[in-house]
Amino acid sequence: MNTMLKYITGTSLLLLTATFTYAQQKQPYRLGTPAGLMQDLKTQAKVPHARLVSAADLKVGPGTSFTGKVNARHTSENEETVIGEIENVPGSSFFLSVKNGNVQGSIILRQSKRGYKYYTDNTGTAYVKEVPLDSILCIEYNQAKKDDSPARAASDVNVQALAELQSLPGANGCILLDFNGQYVVSSYWNNGNPINAAASTLTDAQQLEVWEMISEDFRPFRLNITNSETVYNTYPANRRMRCIFTPTNTAAPGAGGVAYLNSFTWGNETPCWVFNGGVKGAGEAGSHEVGHTFGLSHDGRTSPSEGYFAGHGNWAPIMGVGYYESIVQWSKGEYTNSNNKEDDLAKISSTANGVGYRTDDFGGTTAAAAALNPSTSGAVNRSGIIERTGDVDMFSFTTGGGSLSLSLATPTRHPNLDILVTLYNSGGTAITSANPSGLPATLSATLTAGTYYIGVTGTGAGTPASDGYSNYASLGSYTITGTVATPSTAAATIYQDCNYAGNAVTLPVGSYTLSQLIALGIPNDYISSLKVASGYEIILYENHDFSGAAYLFRGDFSCLVNLSLNGAPLNLNDWTSSVLIRPSTAAAAGARTSSAGAVLEQVAVAEPVESKLTTSLAVTPNPFVNEVVVRSAAVTKDGYLYVSVFSLDGKTVLPLKRIVSGERVNLSGLGAGVYLIKIFNGKDTETRKIVKY
């Protein structure tokens, strides 16, 4: 097809002419090769016209064509771009670009809510297709109700007043919250004409709170929310988005904000806009419009028919209207009559956007638990992030007995995370949990001496279909504060070097996996000497999870290189991967003597420590292809076993799973190699090596 464009010369305004008719068609219309289309555009641009002579054949379908006024043109050897508006059609715009063999652009008809999209398919053929307008552009996104918060006049704004803010320095992508005003020349806004956007009238305090709100909405992702132009400019053009907060609503008069879908990766500095004032209106609109740039569509309902769902209970979706509810989260359309089932989280984190999720900050099993690290007085101050649906962050602590009182809350003023916290005993059995009606949670208990765990995760409330939400987007940051009963008396001190030299760490009674030791500043294969307080003993294990060879010590040992056990030399220097410290069992074990004949307290009195799990345990087949079967006569009181699988470097590859004896455990997702499977029966634990073909 030959596409003919006619231009009026003599002014900066070019006039593209075509007959304007409507025909109902949804099939793509073939335009030919990009090279042919570009040549037609270049040829017509060179033809002088003193007046509008005839209609150009700019077709969008059989019998359907448009007349367009071209306000701007960009041309080079490899590019021809025309930008403008459809003649005599208010609220319309037109953009068509052929560059380096690729065709892109759109026709937007706001009043009739119609749109056309130009594109090149995978064969290199150019097409145009009628599409829903909201698949191109955010439309009819209403302004928030007037905000009564104090605001500055645009002329009084001090654009340098607020300090630099960053939610995740060095992240994969960046969102600039631009409150400072901007002169915008974009092919996609104002028909190619400049927009001189005034600075936001939000106060510095309001800008800070808007940044907090949007940062929390995007907390699960490797995305840096900033107000710094300098930071923004360090990111590649296709991994950043400018969101302009301004009272200048030229880009979409009467709207609360506006954005082009999928524009985050365009790389051509097409910004999105927010026109609302006040913290709630500006913050919700900011997340909504940035969400569009990642490809998200509107969340509405089929009955009643509406483009934007305003929520139920105290919940609303970000891509609906979040102005009027306190909990506003990403959605996958779990509410009744949803018109949009797309997975917001999956779309934002997709490879197409190049952002992804944050790395999980804490393990989700007791074996991978991080130390809660109470102070010597028992005070707790820990923080973390629930990055994905169902993520669990596990922490451990040891107490000499007494009261536990913890508070968990999101530190931001606009949280998305509804917190569920669970307390577990040393065997991993849940003791109690807290899930109050509000988003924060508190946990209180009276504990006996020992090691305990707490698990933090997101949860839902009410019924997602009618008055609540699920745990789907109950994500974000949290802090843990409060007190643990004063930790038990220091029972052992371990040293980096022989003769009690180098870095020293003192530990109370408790069990310490490799990940917990690392959190305390004790790397793998680290211990060279140790001191054990009177009345206590320490067991050093070869592997990260209390498996492999193990030896028990009482008293002080100045060097673990030259030990003797039953007359045989023993070298345990830089050997230990996990540790158990407990009150001494010497009285029960009976008197022991040293084969070396030296002072007993300074010579290793060591004994192998074996698993107490019943010998009926079987893990078959081994080696295996995709599954193993775990069998044992010794199970928990309610008939279960608990299994988890780790790589040899201590990484969890199968989180803790409850099974019945004889149940198949699917490990098909693992690569070939050697792994450790840990089985717990409510009392004892055993670890076996398994081999996958």
Task: Assess whether 527 and 593 both reside in one domain.
Answer: yes
User: Is pLDDT of 343 > 90?
Assistant: yes
Please give the residue range of the domain that contains residue 647: 613-692
CATH number for the domain harbouring residue 556: 2.60.20.10
Report cis status (omega within 30 of 0) of the bond before 623: yes
In a domain, 652, yes or no: yes
Predicted confidence at residue 373, as pLDDT, reads 85
CATH number for the domain harbouring residue 675: 2.60.40.1930
Task: Assess whether 374 and 478 both reside in one domain.
Answer: yes
User: Is pLDDT of 513 > 90?
Assistant: no
Strand order, beta sheet including 663-666: 618-620, 627-631, 663-666
DSSP structure class, residue 469: B
In a domain, 188, yes or no: yes
The structure tokens listed for 353 are 């956007």
Task: Assess whether 420 and 440 both reside in one domain.
Answer: yes
Query: What is the rounded CA–CA span in Å between residue 293 and residue 262?
Result: 4
| Three-state secondary structure call for residue 280 | helix
In a domain, 147, yes or no: no
Task: Assess whether 432 and 498 both reside in one domain.
Answer: no
Domain edge (last residue) among 451, 466, 482: 482
DSSP structure class, residue 430: E
Predicted confidence at residue 408, as pLDDT, reads 96
Domain edge (last residue) among 459, 482, 505: 482
Contact 97, 105 (CB under 8 A): yes
In a domain, 123, yes or no: yes
Contact 166, 231 (CB under 8 A): yes
Asked which of 36-50, 377-391, 636-650 is least confident by mean pLDDT, the reply is: 36-50
| Three-state secondary structure call for residue 199 | coil
Return the closest-CA partner of residue 511 out of 605, 582, 585, 430.
582
Residue 316 makes CB contacts below 8 A (sequence gap 6+) with 309, 310, 322, 324, 325, 327, 328
Q: How confident is the model at residue 106 (pLDDT cuts 50, 70, 90)?
A: confident
Predicted confidence at residue 158, as pLDDT, reads 45
Task: Assess whether 631 and 592 both reside in one domain.
Answer: no
Mean residue pLDDT across the chain: 83
- Greater confidence (258 vs 110) lies with 258
Predicted confidence at residue 167, as pLDDT, reads 97
Number of separate domains in the chain: 5
Domain edge (last residue) among 115, 135, 155: 135
Q: What is the pLDDT of residues 124-183, one digit of tens each?
A: 999 999 888 888 888 877 788 765 444 444 444 444 467 899 999 999 999 999 999 999
| Three-state secondary structure call for residue 558 | coil
In a domain, 194, yes or no: yes
In a domain, 7, yes or no: no
Contact 118, 105 (CB under 8 A): yes
In a domain, 63, yes or no: yes
Task: Assess whether 288 and 179 both reside in one domain.
Answer: yes
Query: What is the rounded CA–CA span in Å between residue 101 and residue 46?
Result: 21
Predicted confidence at residue 410, as pLDDT, reads 93
pTM of the model: 0.68
Predicted confidence at residue 586, as pLDDT, reads 66
Contact 53, 43 (CB under 8 A): no
CA angle 34, 38, 42 (to 5 degrees): 175
Task: Assess whether 117 and 213 both reside in one domain.
Answer: no
Q: How confident is the model at residue 23 (pLDDT cuts 50, 70, 90)?
A: very low
Predicted confidence at residue 50, as pLDDT, reads 35
CATH number for the domain harbouring residue 391: 2.60.120.380
Q: What string of DSSP letters covers 20-44?
A: -------S-EEEE-HHHHHHHHHHH
Task: Assess whether 511 and 548 both reside in one domain.
Answer: yes
Query: What is the rounded CA–CA span in Å between residue 459 and residue 473?
Result: 9
Q: HSE on the CB side for 382, CA within 13 Å? A: 29
Task: Assess whether 521 and 473 both reside in one domain.
Answer: no
In a domain, 358, yes or no: no
User: Exposed (0-12), middle (13-18) or buried (19+): which is 483, by Cβ within 10 Å?
Assistant: middle
Task: Assess whether 219 and 130 both reside in one domain.
Answer: no
Return the closest-CA partner of residue 439 out of 287, 309, 326.
326
User: Is pLDDT of 208 > 70?
Assistant: yes
Asked which of 286-300, 433-447, 464-478, 541-555 is least confident by mean pLDDT, the reply is: 541-555
Task: Assess whether 120 and 50 both reside in one domain.
Answer: yes
Q: What is the pLDDT of residues 52-94, one digit of tens each?
A: 332 344 678 777 777 777 777 778 888 888 777 777 788 888 7
Report cis status (omega within 30 of 0) of the bond before 464: no
CATH number for the domain harbouring residue 265: 3.40.390
Return the closest-CA partner of residue 134 out of 162, 170, 110, 159.
110
Q: What is the pLDDT of residues 592-619, one digit of tens each?
A: 333 332 222 323 333 333 445 556 788 8
Task: Assess whether 186 and 292 both reside in one domain.
Answer: yes
